[in-house]
Structure 1
Amino acid sequence: MKTDAFALRHIGPREQDVTHMLKTIGVDSMEQLIYETLPDDIRLKAELDLEPALTEYEYLNHIRALGNKNKVFTSYIGLGYHPNIVPAAIQRNIFENPGWYTAYTPYQAEIAQGRLEALLNFQTTVIELTGMEIANASLLDEGTAAAEAMSLLFDVRSRDQKKNNVNKFFVSEEILPQTLAILETRATPIGIELVTGNHESFEMTPEYFGAMLQYPGKYGEVFDYAGFISKAKQHEIKVAVAADILSLVKLTPPGEMGADVVVGTTQRFGIPMGYGGPHAGFFATKEEYKRSMPGRIIGVTVDVNGNRALRMALQTREQHIKREKATSNICTAQVLLAVMAGMYAVYHGPKGLGYIADKVHASAVTAANALNKIGVYQTNSNFFDTIVVKADTSKVRPIAESKEINFNYIDAETISISFNETTSVNDLNAILAVFAEAVGKSADKINALSSDIHYPKNLERTSDFLNYDVFNKYHSETALMRYIKMLERKDLALNHSMISLGSCTMKLNAAAEMLPLSMANWNNIHPFAPLDQVEGYTTMLKKLEQQLNVITGFAGTSLQPNSGAQGEYAGLMAIRAYHISQGNGHRNVCLIPASAHGTNPASAALAGMHIVVTKTLENGNIDVEDLRAKAIEHKDDLSCLMVTYPSTHGVYEATIIEVTKLIHENGGQVYMDGANMNAQVGLTNPATIGADVCHLNLHKTFAIPHGGGGPGVGPICVAGHLVPFLPSNPIIPTASTNDVAGISSAPYGSALVCLISYAYITMLGAEGLRSSTENAILNANYIKERLAGHFDTLYTGEMGRAAHEMILECRPFKENGIEVTDIAKRLMDYGFHAPTVSFPVAGTLMVEPTESENLEELDRFCDAMISIRKEIDEASADNKNNVLKNAPHTLAMLTSDDWNMPYSREKAAYPLEYISENKFWPSVRRVDDAYGDRNLVCSCAPIEAYMES
């Protein structure tokens, strides 16, 4: 046995366990199990052509050497990305802590109260600094948040009869270039006409429904937008503002100027630049738009005892409900990064943030004054952190780069310099020395920061912010460390027990994969750094693209989309651009099976497609005859089919080759949703089944942690004819054409966490990847057989096997008065997070164990489910005072002097022997979602105060 092989550490079942599990399933070998599970006509004939697997030790040496090829210059580039100080207490206790980074999206609120409180802190920070009424729990980055703002304003315009058919959207030329590219990509398919220009000379006319401004402008100028917003309101034009969050500590918030939406990024609140991400975008708006708001909102409610509790609010906004009528396809967030940014605000508090903002502004003012003295004149009339100077770029740049300094070179004689939290007096003297040498003058040494203010007095912030206790009591490291630990103890994460979520693949996030994220030569690089400074990144990203090409069987990959839904959208936009290039722009019909993920129809609608739903059979498979009829009916306008494989029902459909051939015969392309790629790698691939494009969830199949609901990465892999239509970037081009100008803000999206997937593939190699897929199938089928006779599996393949996941039938239990939610809540008492509830079939559980879980953990889960099945049998519809209906049971409930339940405390808390060794206590009882939605509170404000107001 190769004890240094990474596969041995990543894959859960031991060799002797596999023998036992195969026997339980009723097969003689792994090969027989795979034969009975996977259709033979799509089976790969050869091993994946990947380099030999590295051990953990070899990989860490490799990645250090590769990282040393990156040059970490001092960055003053700005454009929405800034060096900052990540507080060590936050880096160690959150960023590097599996208790935070391995948690799942907080759908099960009772075991996610810590993360929910941290996100409420984030929302409160955003609300208070922007001056708005409501904020969500983060978006993907600033550019995509701006696009969501445009979409929201386009959606709400229909409430105004005068604006119902208006489609023009004004964008200030001060907008960040990467944001403009995303707006251009998003606008055209949904019928928005973008008009870019000077906001001061913009002529407001009735055909505009909205406008977007940048505050401060892209090169640092601080404008007073109050007059523009006031005039826009007179013309019934709604205004979104993309704002720098640190500047809002000192400048009048856009909400106080009357803005309708405020967006931006919280990257400079203690999040590493990471060559572009992941970073938590923010989105704040007026409460009247809450039903159109994208993403997730955390709200305050109560549990069944009336105690304060938190949960995700307004969940009917999710795409699984609205589908093609959803105004956004965003179903995720950047939770881990939002938690860090919120905790940064908690740690520093309003006074600390004020100190940081003052220091940043003083650095800019001091530099401007010093440069003016040597004839390098600063041209911004007003600024916060960014100055613009006139100098010969050809002379300045080589000198600056020889001193490992990066500025933003606007043109041959114009340079912008963005200052940040890390800037010191020594840094200012280094900057001054560069320009002094370039102009041939000597400069007086800077010894102290200026106290001058260089933004308008009327724009100086006068309103208080962050006065709540949480932002004013954890300013020592001891206090913060204990607060973070208190919250962590309220959350059930993968470091406690298996999270068996179907469709979500909560697998091991190995420590060796995670360690490089903390290395400065990977996490401290600006996304627009010159390419000759990022050789390590370029090599790693290109290798990862090649690895994904091999795994999928495709010709090209874009790593830019920074979520699965963004990947769906990017793939459909590539198909759209391809059809247009062929003179077939009229092809806009997208066929989507009824069982598809809810983001599929939402993404298709955003790509300007007309959705036609196709039927599924009773066994859960695609109804091929209905698909054939609809493909033929729409053959003149057919754009594509969106298909998930294995199916959303956890089955390898034997007709998949027939299905993809049918689409191609009628002029369409095949988009494969990669949500279930964990059941394909090394056994089959999208190219083999006949797809033209797929997106991959790197946060599922390829081991990037879910982080409590994000970060995610959703790259797309495409066949050769679609390669020219991969997304690009206006500053660092990543594609050969600009048919799709940009999907995310950074050229390579959330580049930093791509290191994790690169590590996963590099350390597993071809054999390890295939073995991972086989063991995922093994674990799923083992659970299926162990639960047989207790829970029926709703759908299986031709030979009765599940793929890597299965749907457990729970609807008959309604006869006993038990709903699937009761099972989900009772599992908390057994120390488990529930499987996926009521998706894709209402009243069911979808279970996916992944390959990372060992036999002992699988058996614990099965024992828990079998025990719950006995509890279901004991329940009756006319008596709701039972152990399932009262679940989960909290410590406070179990230790109370009052106990009037018809079952023992021991049965409530310790129904199986293993639980006593490692008991997890839910911190609240079952939450009341309806109460929270009726009384929506999305900040730290007490619910009573909100209701009184």
Structure 2
Amino acid sequence: MSEIHFQEKFEERHIGPSTDETEAMLETIGLRHLDELIDETVPARIRVTHPLQLPAAQTEVAYLRKMKAVADKNKVFKSYIGQGYYDVILPGVIQRNVFENPGWYTQYTPYQAEIAQGRLQALLNFQTMVIDLTGMEIANASLLDEATAAAEAMFMQYGLRKNKSANTYFVVETVFPQTLDVLRTRALSYGINLQVGNPFEIPDTDTIFGVLVQYPDGDGALSDYKALVEQLHVRDISVCAVADLLSLTLLTPPGEWGADVVVGSTQRFGIPMGFGGPHAAYLATKEAYKRNIPGRIIGVTVDSNGAYALRMALQTREQHIRRDKASSNICTAQALLAIMAGFYAAYHGPKGLRKIAGRIHGLATLADRALQQLGYRQLNASYFDTLRVEVGELSGPLHAEALNNEINLLYRGAVVNISMDETTTYEDVEALIRVFAKLKGKSLNDIDLAALAEDNLSVIPQTLLRTSRYLTHPVFNSFHSEHEMLRYIKSLEARDLSLCHSMIPLGSCTMKLNATTEMVPVTWPEFGGLHPFAPADQTGGYMQIISELNGWLSEITGFAKVSFQPNSGAQGEYAGLMVIRAYHESLGEGHRNVVLIPASAHGTNPASASMAGMQVVVVRCDERGNIDVGDLRAKTEAHAANLAAVMVTYPSTHGVFEEPIVEICDLIHQYGGQVYMDGANMNAQVGLTSPGLIGADVCHLNLHKTFCIPHGGGGPGMGPIGVAEHLVPFLPNHPVVEVSSAQGISAVSAAPWGSASILLISHAYIAMMGSEGLTRATKFAILNANYLKTRLESHYPILYAGVNGRCAHELILDCRAFKTIGIEVGDIAKRLMDYGFHAPTVSFPVAGTLMIEPTESESKAELDRFCDALIAIRGEIAAIEQGQSDRENNLLKGAPHTIAMVCADTWDRPYTRSQAAFPLSFVRDHKFWPSVGRVNDSQGDRMLICACPPVDAYDQVEAY
């Protein structure tokens, strides 16, 4: 073909192995063609019979050109809607060097602390910021959104209640509607009775275990809750405050008036609205509740040299260890957004944040006085940023005139709400008042706005003014110039290993390429600046993206429709089970509450089932790692009357396409149950098979895995669910924007379409890959895994394989035999750091093993480097086995080795510095240095410190 017709294919950039490399890899595994491998791996009876019906693949240039046109369909008006979403100014130094920087957004969750000290410090900064501003004692390292955080708090309060028969949760009537709806969803599973009303009129009954108030409330009004909280505590009723974090720079923090839990969003800290997300939420509480707090906690400990080091505390791991007894199913957080919020606080500092908050409040007060001069009545006696204005019969004309001026307000009958934000200017207030004046037959000249601005512009009561200091740590008082901020960001980035350095081979986590072109539109203002409750005629661009992505994912999964509301994989699990629950109830079979879950399942599966009010029954796996069909049949029959669903992961968590999967689905359906498929391993399905074809009824998709949304140090994520036709009516709805039918379950996340802005990434990936590219990606994911299997199986036992000896897209190395010489699987994980690699998944799904997933994005050269590292480590283990290396003082036990250790004046180890730091030649050329030695997890768990220690404590951190 003439070169004039040449079009570069995006798939050739996304898929790692070249044509020559592919041939060499196939030769290594003993095959001639890639399709031979697929035929040996994927059962024929579940293979698709025709290509995916998707639009032709677009080039990167063409896609971005098209997206510009799509973006223009969004009308970004000046928003005063508020309700938990506010326009912001994201500092350029944070946007360019964090949000748009693969050194930050391709990091994985910091399970391997020694090569994650940068993001751990950034998250510790976030926790410190939250603790200081809320006046509480402990905080986690972010949750999914404000509504989810409130639901987590409710369940936490429920678990802590002294009167175990109390089952009523009292919620302030002015809470944000999306928060109330998510509370309703979560309460349903546990039989919690939600009572909504005036918190100052709480009935005198012993059935109430907790109260939730909003501060300021959902209409912007401020209340003094101190006396109320004291009265509630006398009755053993705990109090959760949903607080606007920015307002707490001016207002008395909830911790100072007695709140037990404080939750909210950090969206105002420089995070674009993005049509609903992603935004990091926070949860802060008392030290006494540290074992009950959901999500991740970053804590201070020491490394093997006694130096300051950070790690994730025990609570994080316990969410998976506890399984159906877990206090939460939280897995993905919003780590990248939490990191950005922490940097925002560091950049502005306490004085800067107070100035921003003071300016917002001042502009709200100025608008209030101007509106009153025009003859309007403003209903909030005190407020931070939100006015409630009576407009009576002028509501309709006001709406029309505001739209003519590209202004969005929140209309509630005869009252309109106006919320100011960081981007609001004096000129914006002038434009706003001009609109209101016109409706009264007046103009801006009829009031002296400038004179009003000279007055004391505050209506916050003296009793609610903050007097305590906050953000006193040097990290919030040192980096206010852009130069210093840039260097601080880069100094933390340098401590972290990301996909910029090497492959991150974590099984079930699919750390694949996050292509730059996929990321570009996310920061365009047409997508970032849109409020999730903006009028529908202003959201055409997003609606097109969501509609197209819905169709494409439905085609890929074989389902009828997709809901994008769940904003993490665990949320998707929960939402899917709640949809199944609603379906059974619609048939008059609400008693069906038993969920069968294989022993190999992710810890979030049983936790999600428990949260959905289901009874978990564990199904055994056989010696080959497959679901024991006999045990499944026995338990299906035993629980036939109450069977709600089975939860399966496919391919299995053991990395195998289980042959009897269709029979498993048929068996469950025979007894009236539904099949829930965990989509964690969709990377091995796309284009070759599908959940719908296999027989599943619902499946969540980890868009942050298979569909290229980056992990960002542990989030953002998206976990949309696809469902079969009969479940479509029950997909999650939303109280503000209708997104499902009247039968739909109440909301599972705060925003109608979850973290909508990052849907752009998956949309770009599918659009540029097309049907053929997506299918080839799946084939190469399987090829890369089987290439690793072939290269490594003569050095390490491979735990499971399919009937033809092939693995799916991941494989498990069995390291348990090394325990006989004192080598744990964790020692191998730490030694891999010296070779410049992140460890595979450690001890999951089988203790003492490494689960490896290379993804299709890695080249043969990178796969070979990784194999060479593992083979070299096996040689180091052999040296211990043969008595050539000491069992206690050896390369693995000493790992990881920092530059400070290697360059120290003394070296007393029985191996050389070169062996420690440069074990293979490629390491010398591309050395990544772990920033700390092996972290002491147990010491950190014994003495949990989850905020930045005082400066004078850094030198004495050993004392902790």
Q: Per the alignment, in what secondary structure is the counterpart of residue 592 of structure 1?
A: strand
My pick for the range that moved more, 81-90 or 875-884, is: 875-884
| Residue equivalent to 2:427 | 426
Distance 2:655 2:957 in 1: 45
Distance 1:21 1:640 in 2: 41
| Match status 1:298 vs 2:298 | yes
Q: TM-score, normalised by structure 1?
A: 0.98
| Residue equivalent to 2:159 | 155
My pick for the range that moved more, 770-779 or 221-230, is: 221-230
| Residue equivalent to 2:553 | 548
Q: Per the alignment, in what secondary structure is the counterpart of residue 911 of structure 1?
A: coil
Q: Give CA deviations for 1:575-605 in whole Å, capped at 9, x if unaligned.
A: 0000000000011110001100000000000
Q: Could you say if the C-alpha distance between residues 168 and 913 of structure 1 is closer, same or farther in structure 2, counting changes exceeding 3 Å?
A: same
My pick for the range that moved more, 164-173 or 100-109, is: 164-173
Q: Per the alignment, in what secondary structure is the counterpart of residue 881 of structure 1?
A: coil
Task: Give the letter for the 1:424 counterpart.
Answer: T
TM superposition shift of 1:948: 9.2
Task: Write out aligned runs for 1:809-888 (5 A).
Answer: 809-876=814-881, 879-888=887-896
Q: Could you say if the C-alpha distance between residues 497 and 946 of structure 1 is closer, same or farther in structure 2, counting changes exceeding 3 Å?
A: closer
| Match status 1:736 vs 2:714 | no
Q: Could you say if the C-alpha distance between residues 684 and 322 of structure 1 is closer, same or farther in structure 2, counting changes exceeding 3 Å?
A: same
Task: Write out aligned runs for 1:513-524 (5 A).
Answer: 513-524=518-529
TM superposition shift of 1:941: 2.2
| Residue equivalent to 1:408 | 410
Q: Could you say if the C-alpha distance between residues 317 and 223 of structure 1 is closer, same or farther in structure 2, counting changes exceeding 3 Å?
A: farther
Does structure 1 retain, via aligned residues, the 8 Å contact 2:600–2:845?
A: yes
Q: Per the alignment, in what secondary structure is the counterpart of residue 371 of structure 1?
A: helix
| Residue equivalent to 1:396 | 398
Paired residues in the alignment total: 944
Q: Give CA deviations for 1:462-509 in whole Å, capped at 9, x if unaligned.
A: 000011111001000000000000000000000110000001000000
Q: Could you say if the C-alpha distance between residues 919 and 946 of structure 1 is closer, same or farther in structure 2, counting changes exceeding 3 Å?
A: closer
TM superposition shift of 1:445: 5.4
Does structure 2 retain, via aligned residues, the 8 Å contact 1:816–1:873?
A: no
Does structure 2 retain, via aligned residues, the 8 Å contact 1:429–1:445?
A: no
Distance 1:74 1:946 in 2: 49
Q: Per the alignment, in what secondary structure is the counterpart of residue 717 of structure 1?
A: strand
Q: Give CA deviations for 1:496-554 in whole Å, capped at 9, x if unaligned.
A: 10000001000000000000011000110000000000000001001101111000000
| Match status 1:9 vs 2:10 | no
| Residue equivalent to 2:42 | 38
| Residue equivalent to 1:446 | 449
Does structure 2 retain, via aligned residues, the 8 Å contact 1:400–1:406?
A: yes
Task: Give the letter for the 1:887 counterpart.
Answer: A
Q: Per the alignment, in what secondary structure is the counterpart of residue 387 of structure 1?
A: strand
| Residue equivalent to 2:675 | 670
Does structure 2 retain, via aligned residues, the 8 Å contact 1:140–1:280?
A: yes
Q: Give CA deviations for 1:350-390 in whole Å, capped at 9, x if unaligned.
A: 00011101100000000001111111221101101001111
Of residues 15, 22, 27, the one that matches 1:23 is 27
| Residue equivalent to 2:323 | 323
| Residue equivalent to 1:174 | 174
Does structure 1 retain, via aligned residues, the 8 Å contact 2:246–2:268?
A: yes
| Match status 1:623 vs 2:645 | no
| Match status 1:486 vs 2:495 | no
| Residue equivalent to 1:603 | 608
TM superposition shift of 1:315: 4.0
Distance 2:789 2:559 in 1: 33
Distance 1:805 1:757 in 2: 22
| Residue equivalent to 1:721 | 726
Of residues 552, 560, 563, the one that matches 1:558 is 563
Distance 1:781 1:879 in 2: 33
Distance 1:390 1:108 in 2: 56
Task: Write out aligned runs for 1:339-738 (5 A).
Answer: 339-391=339-391, 392-411=394-413, 413-443=414-444, 444=447, 446-447=449-450, 448=453, 450-738=455-743
Does structure 1 retain, via aligned residues, the 8 Å contact 2:302–2:958?
A: no
| Residue equivalent to 2:942 | 934
TM superposition shift of 1:868: 0.5
TM superposition shift of 1:3: 5.6
Does structure 1 retain, via aligned residues, the 8 Å contact 2:295–2:316?
A: no
| Match status 1:70 vs 2:61 | no
TM superposition shift of 1:406: 0.4
Q: Per the alignment, in what secondary structure is the counterpart of residue 818 of structure 1?
A: coil
Q: Per the alignment, in what secondary structure is the counterpart of residue 227 of structure 1?
A: helix
Distance 2:426 2:609 in 1: 52
TM superposition shift of 1:452: 2.4
Does structure 1 retain, via aligned residues, the 8 Å contact 2:242–2:262?
A: yes
* Unpaired runs of at least 5, structure 2: none
Distance 1:267 1:144 in 2: 14
Distance 1:317 1:598 in 2: 10
TM superposition shift of 1:429: 0.2
Does structure 1 retain, via aligned residues, the 8 Å contact 2:332–2:714?
A: yes
Q: Per the alignment, in what secondary structure is the counterpart of residue 318 of structure 1?
A: helix
Distance 1:191 1:147 in 2: 14
Task: Give the letter for the 2:898 counterpart.
Answer: T
Of residues 899, 913, 918, the one that matches 1:905 is 913
| Residue equivalent to 1:272 | 272
| Residue equivalent to 1:225 | 225
Distance 1:732 1:260 in 2: 32
Q: Per the alignment, in what secondary structure is the counterpart of residue 291 of structure 2?
A: helix
TM superposition shift of 1:631: 0.4
**Percent of aligned pairs with the same residue?**
59
TM superposition shift of 1:446: 2.9
Task: Give the letter for the 1:417 counterpart.
Answer: I
Q: Give CA deviations for 1:204-226 in whole Å, capped at 9, x if unaligned.
A: 32111001000001010001111
* Unpaired runs of at least 5, structure 1: none
My pick for the range that moved more, 293-302 or 738-747, is: 738-747
Does structure 1 retain, via aligned residues, the 8 Å contact 2:294–2:315?
A: no
Q: Give CA deviations for 1:595-647 in whole Å, capped at 9, x if unaligned.
A: 00000000000111111101100100000000001101111110000000000
TM superposition shift of 1:275: 0.1
Task: Give the letter for the 2:671 counterpart.
Answer: N
Distance 2:843 2:693 in 1: 31
Distance 1:519 1:187 in 2: 38
Q: Per the alignment, in what secondary structure is the counterpart of residue 209 of structure 2?
A: strand
Distance 2:894 2:82 in 1: 53
| Residue equivalent to 2:772 | 767
Of residues 920, 924, 936, the one that matches 2:932 is 924
Does structure 2 retain, via aligned residues, the 8 Å contact 1:240–1:262?
A: yes
Does structure 2 retain, via aligned residues, the 8 Å contact 1:644–1:674?
A: yes
CA-based RMSD: 1.3
Does structure 2 retain, via aligned residues, the 8 Å contact 1:296–1:332?
A: no
Task: Give the letter for the 2:154 counterpart.
Answer: M
| Match status 1:185 vs 2:155 | no
Distance 2:957 2:865 in 1: 44
Q: Could you say if the C-alpha distance between residues 449 and 622 of structure 1 is closer, same or farther in structure 2, counting changes exceeding 3 Å?
A: farther
| Residue equivalent to 2:248 | 248
| Match status 1:289 vs 2:289 | yes
TM superposition shift of 1:875: 1.7
Does structure 2 retain, via aligned residues, the 8 Å contact 1:204–1:235?
A: no
TM superposition shift of 1:236: 0.6
Q: Per the alignment, in what secondary structure is the counterpart of residue 284 of structure 1?
A: strand
TM superposition shift of 1:947: 10
Does structure 1 retain, via aligned residues, the 8 Å contact 2:821–2:887?
A: no
Q: Give CA deviations for 1:112-145 in whole Å, capped at 9, x if unaligned.
A: 0000000000000000000000000000000000
| Residue equivalent to 1:124 | 128
Distance 1:445 1:726 in 2: 52
Distance 1:439 1:202 in 2: 41
